[in-house]
């Protein structure tokens, strides 16, 4: 499991063009060293997790936990959208959600919520909770969650948000 997470992290580094701390690449011990070069923030899971878990508990559902693979997948998607300047699940030719999640080690089943323009995690959550399809994802039969936000000067520094929920 540890080796597959290391491989997943290295793939993300190559595909997202991230600048990574030496301990993250060399040791592959924890996921907290991801500092992409274009305004991405990987620290959005904790505040969003609180909002989602309050929602879920109010509906009698179990709480979600922070999932490292889902966090990496969310970071990857947020960066891809910011670089493309598009809020889309599938960016580019032959892009496929299932293949992306599987290739990044996300436990299936999985779902992805995306948003654009919100200034902080609370506003992104509010956008998702007021959307029936996004709300359905947050109330689904999942165990883990990862959330990230990215900005890119080429796309006007608009915040692009991605939430990945996983089994």
**For the segment 66-89, what is each residue's pLDDT rounded down to a tens digit?**
999 999 999 999 998 998 888 778
98-144 per-position pLDDT tens digit = 888 999 999 999 999 999 999 999 999 999 999 999 999 999 999 99
pLDDT, mean over the chain: 78
- Number of other residues whose CB lies within 10 A of the CB of residue 142: 24
For residues 23 and 45, give the distance between their C-alpha atoms in angstroms, rounded to a whole number: 21
Distances (CA, A) of 46 to 3, 27, 65, 71, 152: 25, 24, 9, 10, 23
Confidence at 19, pLDDT banded by 50, 70, 90 = very low
Going by the DSSP 8-state scheme, the letter that residue 133 receives in this structure is H
Stretch 60-70: mean pLDDT = 96
Residue spans of the domains in the chain: they are 41-166
For residues 67 and 166, give the distance between their C-alpha atoms in angstroms, rounded to a whole number: 8
CA-wise closest residue to 70 among 156, 153, 22, 138: 138
Would you say 72 and 20 are in contact if contact means Cβ atoms under 8 Å apart? Answer: no
Going by the DSSP 8-state scheme, the letter that residue 113 receives in this structure is E
Whole-model pTM: value is 0.74
| CATH (residue range 41-166) | 3.40.33.10
For residues 143 and 84, give the distance between their C-alpha atoms in angstroms, rounded to a whole number: 30
């Amino acid at each position: 499991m540890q080796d597959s997470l290391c491989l997943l992290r290295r793939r993300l580094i190559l595909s997202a063009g991230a600048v990574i701390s030496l301990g993250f690449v060399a040791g592959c011990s924890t996921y907290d060293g991801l500092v992409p070069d274009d305004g991405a923030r990987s620290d959005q899971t904790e505040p969003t997790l609180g909002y989602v878990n309050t929602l879920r508990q109010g509906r009698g559902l179990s709480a979600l936990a922070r999932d490292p693979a889902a966090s990496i997948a969310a970071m990857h998607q947020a960066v891809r959208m910011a670089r493309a300047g598009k809020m889309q699940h599938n960016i580019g030719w032959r892009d496929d959600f299932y293949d992306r999640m599987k290739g990044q080690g996300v436990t299936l089943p999985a779902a992805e919520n995306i948003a654009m323009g919100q200034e902080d995690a609370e506003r992104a959550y509010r956008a998702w909770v007021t959307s029936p399809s996004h709300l359905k994802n947050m109330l689904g039969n999942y165990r883990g969650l990862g959330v990230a936000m990215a900005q890119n000067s080429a796309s006007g520094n608009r915040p692009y948000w991605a939430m990945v929920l996983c089994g």
